[in-house]
Each structure stands twice: as structure tokens, then as C-alpha cells.
């Protein structure tokens, strides 16, 4: 019960301030700057990994704060996890086929 009250308070505190969102926006801008400047450096095979890593961090910021996922009930997090697992499976199986395919 106590934790429930705590959760509600946390929700109120976070969803009612302009400041947090502006801060997240600046964070997103900084990450955009990083991804653009890193693209100029030749990292070889790491280029794609770094680009996707930064995009994933940006997505986490947008989802957690702008889409309020961080303050949502657990069921939404389960939904999202299921969606990610389905997508990862699709991509995994596709590449499993692609990599081992003989031309």
C-alpha cells in the first residue's frame, strides 16, 4: 500500500513539471550532435553499432519521458517488452537465414 502511494506521488511530481521535459529535449539534442559527429569518424564495422546504440538511448528517453512509460503501470511495460521480443525474433530469424544461405 505504501509503495502505491509513493508511486502516485512520484507520478505527480514528474508529470507536472515543464523542466524535466525541457531537460530531456536538451539531452536528445546532445545525442543527435554526438551521432552526427561520430558518423564523420571512420569506425569501420562499429559505425552501425554506435549509430543504433545512440538511437536506442534516444528512443528510451522519448518513450520513458515524453510517452510517460516510466510512470505507467507495469502492464504497459509488459506490452512493450512483448512487442520488442516479437520484432527481435523476426530480425533474428531473418538474419539466421541470410547468414547461412549459400549463394
Partner 1 sequence: MSQDSEIAIHHQHEHEAHAHVGEHVHRDDMGSKMGMWLFLFTEVLLFGGMFILYAAYRFTYSDAYKVAAEHLDTYIGTINTIILLASSCAVVLGIVALQRKNKGLCLGFLWFTQLCGAAFMVNKYFEWTHKIELGIYPKGPALADMSEGEVVFFGLYYVMTGLHGLHIIVGMIFIGTVMVMIQKNKLTHDNYQKLENAGLYWHLVDIIWIFLFPLFYLIH
The residues of the shown chain that bind partner 1, judged by CB under 8 A, are 15-18, 21-22, 24-25, 28-29, 32, 35-36, 39-40, 42, 47, 51-52, 54-55, 58-59, 62-63, 65-68, 75-76, 79-80, 83, 86-87, 90-91, 94-95, 98-99
d(CA 54, CA 31): 7
CB nearer to partner 1: give 6 or 21: 21
Q: Which candidate, 58, 57, 27, 54, places its Cα nearest to that of 43?
A: 54
Q: How far is the CB of 62 from partner 1 (least distance, A)?
A: 6
Q: How far is the CB of 5 from partner 1 (least distance, A)?
A: 19
d(CA 91, CA 59): 18
- The C-alpha cell that represents 76 in the structure block: 504497459
Amino acid at each position: 500500500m505504501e509503495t502505491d502511494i509513493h508511486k502516485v506521488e512520484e507520478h505527480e511530481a514528474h508529470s507536472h513539471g515543464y523542466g524535466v521535459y525541457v531537460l530531456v529535449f536538451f539531452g536528445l539534442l546532445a545525442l543527435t550532435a554526438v551521432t552526427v559527429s561520430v558518423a564523420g569518424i571512420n569506425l569501420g564495422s562499429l559505425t552501425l553499432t554506435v549509430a543504433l546504440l545512440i538511437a536506442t538511448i534516444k528512443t528510451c528517453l522519448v518513450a520513458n519521458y515524453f510517452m510517460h512509460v516510466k510512470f505507467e503501470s507495469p502492464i504497459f511495460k509488459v506490452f512493450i517488452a512483448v512487442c520488442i521480443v516479437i520484432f527481435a525474433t523476426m530480425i533474428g530469424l531473418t538474419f539466421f537465414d541470410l547468414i547461412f544461405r549459400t549463394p
